[in-house]
């Protein structure tokens, strides 16, 4: 088994020698995990078919699930995309660098494996100095899905990356915890009106303000499995973000949700099932002697989003058999949180009656 090199770097002013060491690995076709403002990504040269195939193998990721390609400059988009619509230029200037991925028609230089055989490509410019330094020093666009084994909660620290991929990848740039904690919003501008394929770090409300009209792909707000012919974005087709334990999402008015969770928890405990409760600050006191974690206040959905994947991984460490998770408001970053929870549960959703 190969040894994964850990390179500690300052998140604001990354040490250039560490970044160049990581970039030399990328240039040789290797795999490097690195921080973005959303989650840690697992990077490979996006124009190197062999490197991208190695990335899929390391993650055990299905080949029909396209990674996002990360760029360091807006000009890079014009090499990767066959066409850049006018409204896209406006979005790039407003939201990049940042947690917004844009879907374009792909250009001929992009290998098939990088886009899972599609005629489109997903591109973003990450809002993290380490990520931007790595792209610059690598002198290539970097294909980078989340740096975890396929299906597991996304990593928000280098320790999470190593839990899943130690020995499977060449290196990880460790710059501490990520800032946002859920992946980027994916917006498809090859359709009219533009369509959100995955809610994430750039809220729907911000996009609507700029574009006027934005729609959701049905899967983004689905309460049950929605069949799709092709996955134009990561997170559309396969089960994602899931801890080892079974997960049930309980949705409704907060006090009704807490009562329903307690009712379910008592039933499971009588059957010797170890229960974990993913709570919020407003209701955490209800759960007493159960294993519980609070995502934060319902009034701070940015904090809830930042804590989500870390807490799901903590429940794995606790060895619970089932997690009962409170739903949160589906607005701002709460929409991304609910999308992740519903998918992680395999759409096992309970509605709590008020």
Looking at the structure, tell me whether residues 276 and 177 fall in a common domain. Answer: no
Distances (CA, A) of 38 to 10, 109, 142, 209, 293: 17, 27, 16, 22, 21
Residue 208 lies in a domain: yes
Provide the number of structural domains found in the chain.
Answer: 2
Q: Are 35 and 23 in contact (CB under 8 A)?
A: no
What value does the mean pLDDT take over residues 12-26? 98
Q: At residue 75, what are phi and psi to the nearest 5 degrees?
A: -60, -30
Residue 235 lies in a domain: no
Q: Which domain holds residue 71?
A: 5-221
Looking at the structure, tell me whether residues 154 and 197 fall in a common domain. Answer: yes
Percent of the chain scoring above 90 in pLDDT: 90
* Candidate from 50-64, 125-139, 226-240, 256-270 with smallest mean pLDDT: 226-240
Looking at the structure, tell me whether residues 196 and 120 fall in a common domain. Answer: yes
Residue 288 lies in a domain: yes
Looking at the structure, tell me whether residues 67 and 167 fall in a common domain. Answer: yes
Looking at the structure, tell me whether residues 30 and 71 fall in a common domain. Answer: yes
Q: Is the pLDDT of residue 239 over 70?
A: no
pLDDT, position 354: 78
* Candidate from 128-132, 150-154, 227-231, 268-272 with smallest mean pLDDT: 227-231
Q: Considering 206, 221, 236, which residue would you say is the last residue of a domain?
A: 221
Looking at the structure, tell me whether residues 207 and 270 fall in a common domain. Answer: no
Residue 165 lies in a domain: yes
Q: Are 326 and 318 in contact (CB under 8 A)?
A: no
| 278-323 tens-digit pLDDT | 999 999 999 989 999 999 999 999 999 999 999 999 999 999 999 9
Q: Considering 158, 188, 221, which residue would you say is the last residue of a domain?
A: 221
Looking at the structure, tell me whether residues 92 and 186 fall in a common domain. Answer: yes
Residue 93 lies in a domain: yes
Looking at the structure, tell me whether residues 129 and 254 fall in a common domain. Answer: no
Please compute, for residue 251, the number of CA atoms within 13 A of its CA located in the half-sphere on the CB side: 18
69 vs 102: CA distance, rounded Å: 10
pLDDT, position 11: 98
Residues 6+ apart with CB under 8 A from 59: 42, 145, 147, 148, 149, 150, 165
Looking at the structure, tell me whether residues 30 and 152 fall in a common domain. Answer: yes
Looking at the structure, tell me whether residues 272 and 211 fall in a common domain. Answer: no
Provide the mean pLDDT of the chain.
94
Looking at the structure, tell me whether residues 199 and 295 fall in a common domain. Answer: no
First to last CA, the chain: 54
pLDDT, position 226: 66
Q: Is the pLDDT of residue 120 over 60?
A: yes
Looking at the structure, tell me whether residues 290 and 183 fall in a common domain. Answer: no
Residue 232 pLDDT level (bands cut at 50, 70, 90): low
Furthest-apart CA atoms within the chain: distance in Å: 60
Residue 322 lies in a domain: yes
Q: Is the pLDDT of residue 237 over 70?
A: no
Residue 21 lies in a domain: yes
Residue 229 pLDDT level (bands cut at 50, 70, 90): low
Q: Which tokens belong to 46? A: 């996006």
Q: Considering 164, 187, 221, which residue would you say is the last residue of a domain?
A: 221
Residues 6+ apart with CB under 8 A from 124: 68, 69, 70, 71, 96, 99, 100, 101, 102, 184
Question: pTM (2 decimals)?
Answer: 0.94
Residue 231 lies in a domain: no
Helix, strand, or coil (residue 142): strand
Q: Is the pLDDT of residue 228 over 70?
A: no
| 21-54 tens-digit pLDDT | 999 999 999 999 999 999 999 999 999 999 999 9
Find the CATH number of the domain harbouring 313: 3.40.50.11030
Find the CATH number of the domain harbouring 202: 3.90.870.10
pLDDT, position 284: 96
Q: Are 205 and 335 in contact (CB under 8 A)?
A: no
């Amino acid at each position: 088994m190969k040894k994964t090199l850990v390179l500690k770097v300052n998140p604001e002013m990354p040490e250039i020698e560490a970044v160049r060491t990581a970039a030399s690995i990328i240039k040789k076709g290797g795999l490097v995990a690195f921080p973005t403002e959303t989650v840690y990504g697992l990077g490979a040269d996006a124009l190197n078919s062999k490197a991208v195939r190695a990335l899929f193998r390391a993650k055990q990721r299905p080949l029909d699930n396209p990674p996002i390609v990360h760029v360091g400059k807006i000009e890079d988009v014009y090499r990767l995309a066959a066409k850049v619509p006018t409204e896209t230029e406006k979005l790039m200037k407003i939201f990049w660098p940042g947690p917004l991925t844009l879907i374009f028609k792909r250009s001929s230089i992009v290998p098939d494996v990088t886009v899972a055989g599609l005629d489109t490509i997903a591109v973003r410019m990450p809002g993290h100095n380490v990520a931007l330094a790595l792209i610059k020093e690598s002198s290539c666009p970097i294909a980078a899905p989340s740096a975890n084994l396929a299906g597991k909660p996304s990593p928000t620290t280098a320790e999470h990356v190593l839990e899943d991929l130690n020995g499977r990848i060449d290196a990880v740039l460790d710059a501490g915890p990520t800032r946002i904690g859920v992946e980027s919003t994916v917006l498809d501008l090859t359709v009219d009106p533009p369509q959100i394929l995955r809610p994430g770090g750039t809220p729907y409300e911000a996009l609507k303000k700029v574009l006027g009209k934005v729609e959701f792909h049905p899967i983004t707000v689905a309460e049950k499995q929605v069949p799709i012919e092709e996955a134009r974005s990561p997170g559309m087709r396969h089960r994602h973000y899931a801890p080892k334990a079974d997960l049930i999402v309980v949705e409704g008015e907060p006090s009704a949700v807490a009562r329903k969770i307690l009712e379910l928890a008592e039933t499971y405990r009588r059957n010797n099932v170890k229960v974990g409760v993913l709570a919020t600050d407003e209701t955490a006191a209800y759960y007493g002697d159960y294993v519980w974690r609070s995502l934060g206040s319902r009034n701070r959905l940015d904090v809830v989003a930042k804590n989500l994947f870390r807490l799901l991984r903590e429940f794995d460490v606790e060895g619970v058999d089932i997690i009962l998770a409170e739903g949160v408001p589906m607005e701002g970053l709460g929409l991304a949180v609910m999308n992740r929870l519903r998918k992680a549960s395999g759409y096992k959703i309970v509605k709590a009656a008020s």
